[in-house]
Amino acid sequence: MFWYEDEVKRLEQERLKLPYQPKTAFYGSSTITLWESLYHDFQEFSPVNLGFGGSTLSACAWYFDRVFAQFEEINSVIIYAGDNDLSNNRHPEEIFLFLFQLFENIQRRFGLIDCTYISIKPSPQRWYLNEQVKYTNKIIEREIKSRGEQLHFVDIYDQYLDDKHRPDSRFYQNDGLHFNKLGHDLLKTKLVEHLSTLVLQ
């Protein structure tokens, strides 16, 4: 996984850029990394953007200790990753295992804090993986709901489909893979609602 090294080194310095102690960490692949308005969108939750482009869930689990070593007061982690694993020919069951290894890493370091997994999105570029995406989401959601333990599943899949049940191009950049501003704004609405319920608990 040496190709992630420069990105991980960048993240190891992220805490130094912030004038506050982050509480909510956003972790995962380019859906997080390219979210230009993330700090503004979630400012009430004291966010930190710890996404690294092209990352997989296996890489997120592998680099967790390094990326999070500088943080002491995290009380919630939001995770988006998994579609890159599928495009790299990983099986849904492998993604499942990587995610729950990541959950264990988080709770070993921070205790039983809230950990939220965002379902894998449908995208025009990777529509050929759609059945695997749906199956991966299904087995992860089922396990999270059975465990509790402050694990949460936020399902965004249907929100990004058009009336023909295909990926809605309005939400994606021209590459058919990454969210544009409209796509991120839709995700923001869903996550602010979710995070607000966690704060109220």
- The string of pLDDT tens digits covering residues 120-145 is 999 999 999 999 999 999 999 999 99
Query: Is residue 106, in this structure, part of any structural domain at all?
Result: yes
Instruction: Write down the pLDDT at residue 199.
Output: 67
In order, the DSSP letters of the chain are -GGGHHHHHHHHTGGGG-SS---EEEEESHHHHT-TTHHHHTGGG-EEEEE-TT--HHHHHHHHHHHHTT-S---EEEEE--HHHHHTT--HHHHHHHHHHHHHHHHHHH-S-EEEEEPPPP-STTGGGHHHHHHHHHHHHHHHHHH-TTEEEE--GGGGB-TTSSB-GGGB-TTSSSB-HHHHHHHHHHHHHHHHHHHH-
Domain that holds residue 136: 22-195
With both helix axes pointing from N to C terminus, report the angle between 92-110 and 57-68 in degrees, rounded to the nearest 10.
Answer: 10
Query: Is residue 201, in this structure, part of any structural domain at all?
Result: no
Query: Is residue 95, in this structure, part of any structural domain at all?
Result: yes
Instruction: Write down the pLDDT at residue 54.
Output: 86
Query: Is residue 1, in this structure, part of any structural domain at all?
Result: no
Instruction: Write down the pLDDT at residue 53.
Output: 83
Instruction: Write down the pLDDT at residue 98.
Output: 97
Instruction: Write down the pLDDT at residue 131.
Output: 97
Tell me how many domains the chain contains: 1
Query: Is residue 9, in this structure, part of any structural domain at all?
Result: no
Residues 6+ apart with CB under 8 A from 171: 160, 179, 180, 182, 183, 186
The CATH number for 76's domain is 3.40.50.1110
Q: Tell me the pLDDT of the chain (201 aa) as tens digits.
A: 666 888 899 999 888 899 999 999 999 999 999 999 999 999 999 999 999 988 999 999 999 999 999 999 999 999 999 999 999 999 999 999 999 999 999 999 999 999 999 999 999 999 999 999 999 999 999 999 999 779 999 999 999 999 999 999 999 999 999 999 999 999 999 999 999 998 654
Instruction: Write down the pLDDT at residue 2.
Output: 66
Instruction: Write down the pLDDT at residue 27.
Output: 98
List the structure tokens of 75. 């009380």
Query: Is residue 17, in this structure, part of any structural domain at all?
Result: no
What mean pLDDT, rounded, does the chain reach? Answer: 94
Query: Is residue 46, in this structure, part of any structural domain at all?
Result: yes
Query: Is residue 13, in this structure, part of any structural domain at all?
Result: no
Instruction: Write down the pLDDT at residue 200.
Output: 53
Instruction: Write down the pLDDT at residue 1.
Output: 61
Instruction: Write down the pLDDT at residue 148.
Output: 77
